[in-house]
Structure 1
Amino acid sequence: MVAIKPPKQIKTPSNLKIAVRYILNEAKTLVKGDKETDMDFPLVYHNGEMHLKLVSGHGIEDVSVADEEMVMTKLAAAFKKGDDDLKELSSGKQVLAHHIIQSFSPDDNLTPEQVHEIGRCTMMELTGGDYEFIIATHSDKQHLHNHFILSTTNTATLKKLRWQKNPLKNLRAISDKHAAKYGAKIIEPTMKNSYTKYSAWRRQNNYRYEIKQRLDFLLKQSTSIEDFKQRAQALDLQIDFSGKFVKYQLTDQPQKRRVRDDTLSKKGRYSLEQIKNRVEKNQLVLDVSEIKERYQEERAQANNDFELKIAVAAWQVEQESKQGIYIQMDYGALNSGTILVPAHKVDKTEEGHYTIYIKEKDYFYFLNPDQSQKNRYMMGTTVARQLAKQNGEVLVTKNPHISSMRELIKEYNFLVEHGVTDGTQFQ
């Protein structure tokens, strides 16, 4: 949704001053208007007109000298630690601050003031208000973007922020949440792809996925290469064995380019040699006239399969965005926050409630708005059980191994009914 690159490290007071001056540049931060806003932006008279300067800070008295105020905080921290030589400030090896850029798409249709507010909310949630930072919203390019200078010294404990993988992951997740809340990329107040729509799209437009489903079915229902090609034609799958790689193309869908076998399986499962070895083991297969109907029956059953299904009440959803729904969640004692369930795992009911379809090993990123250090991943099983506990709904489960076993039993019965009780295919 919102682009955030890894932050640039600032290691000297002189570079900190340069960074502050750069992001506060009036040529980049001024927007026309003198209207009142929730933020107390400075008013600047420029070219005969009144402008807002989209800059603000937290823990900073005067943003124009933010670098000096941040250095003063670091001096206090140094004296507390007994660092009389002020090595952090003079060595050039310690990270004094981070320069972060948060970029928005031109299609978001947000005002500069809204972009600034998204940035402020993002940084406050990430830091818990315990670190000094300044924000400047730049409107000099086609896309709006925020610049942050974040000091690494905690103003409460005077300890240092260690920026590793987790803070960046937290920052991006928090940024997306607030961007969705304030309207980024939300054209309509509905999710882009529901579970039902996504399942249909994947069947119709993800050509590699559909080709592999048809090939896996044909591998069990062919006895030779020629038989394989004939049955593939019945399933609207064109096969070209003439080159180094086997090439596949769906004839019942608008697939423009043929797909090579090595892009479908790294292990060569759909190569000419492996197809030949596999189909020669089959003794009994369906009649060609039955192929298409039986395949469609199997796919219909598979497409309706899932592992965990749970109803979610409207009151459990903090916000709905084009990307999905943010659900209120508890994760252990005194740890409350939200998770994003992607739109392709959600169906919305006519009554305004939701049904989510997830797998046990799906991962969801838990966001604690008050203590970002508690952000972490939750597994699908934990999410489903927690939701069912919160709203009293019945958790519907399907074991994928049971589905596979049912398919094996069906194939076993087919062979036995036709007198095949030994051989490679039976085994």
Structure 2
Amino acid sequence: MATTSLWHIEGRLKDLIDYVENPDKTVVRTKDLQDFYNVFAYVQRPEATEQGEYVSATNCLKEIALQQMILTKKQYGKDDGYIAWHGYQSFKPDEVTPELAHEIGLKTAKKMWGDRFQIIVTTHLDKDHLHNHFCFNSVSFLDGKKYNYSKTEQRKLRNVSDRICTEHGLSVIENPHKAPSRQVWLDEKSGKPTRYNVYREDVREAINFSRRPYYMEEYLQRKGYITDFTGKHWKIRLPQYEHFTRLDTLDKRWTPENIQRTMGAYASFGNRRATISYPPQMPRDLKEWYKPFHKTSHIYKLYLHYCYLLGILPKNTDYKPTSPYLKEDLRKLDEFSEQVRYMSKYGIETFDDLYANREKLQNEMDKWIAYRTKLQNKIRRASPAEKETLRQEKSGVTERITELRKQLKLNKGIEKRSVKIQEKTDLLYANEYRAKEEMQHKKTQRKEREIR
């Protein structure tokens, strides 16, 4: 059995050239780009590939594969957009030998891209499961056209891999389902509160605290989920997501039959009702300031209010949110903290302040870019002795531009994030209002029954 995935690598042709010329001093801008470079480094760093035995190339030489990809890009003038594609083919533990894994990987790569693209295939032996890495040029050496990854290509990759695995007597996944994105998959693996990990935690609680499916569904609805327990596959979703998630994809044991057989483990004295907690230490002015369903321009207070709901503030608090609307954002604590510090540092309290700060940053960056252009022109005309001084000055200007770009990105990120914060906080309060209304309705019904 082998699973496959493929993703694009963003960058510039200059990134590749810098890496080839001096890999030790190349500053890598993204993790994806670093992972891409690592595959080529395995040719020189063979400990993960059995002394380089399980490294192969198609339509290029493995020792200079990256250089040949650069030449192809230059030949057709394709130096922008996606610079390459990187994928993997992962096998079930103990089902395949290194030799067979590499053979299957090479056959898969040739069948998929071997007629048009330069490819390098490496088989890694340093995990409990053997897996192949595919790296190939985004530009075809045959006609200069760029690779277009679509759902059709996605299915083709899976089908080609399955067919070759079957030919070699390996098992295949009979009913494949859509996998989460690579970043979500990595966060899931590390135990961070992704959407699916939050789902699992809440479903596990609902199963353990409920004696019957009706109460389990009620438990999840009280948490804020939309549920569908009508078919042979029980499903849930949060309001902010369009699609349902089947419980048996969260855990293959969570079929309706198995759930009913095992539910109620911690419900000795009846079904337990789900509760939503709120931070006890939130300052009164922040608590009373927020008005649900009223759009606000005071983004700094909005952020602070949300940070208390998440348990980021106050520092060293033991409070943790129980609402699934909030728990997923706990994996973004560093981003929230950085954005709050930025607003505090530059006195940004409202959208007007944010836009004024953005305009100032853009104007300053435009000036530095214009100055760097002048320096570049001077360098062309300067003597060899002057060029070194001018290049150092240009390097300093580039660093300043890079810093301004980071600040601009942070500024724009605050605007986008504030909209999501407002929506999630509104959802939280809307769910609480609805739960209180339902509780009151049940109390009223109970009293009416008692009167009768």
Q: Which has the higher strand share?
A: 1
Normalising by the smaller structure, the TM-score range is 0.3 to 0.5
Of structures 1 and 2, the one scoring higher in RCO (CA 8 A, sep 6+) is 1
The TM-score, its normalising length taken from structure 2, stands at 0.33
More helix by share: 2
State which structure, 1 or 2, has the greater radius of gyration over its C-alpha atoms: 1
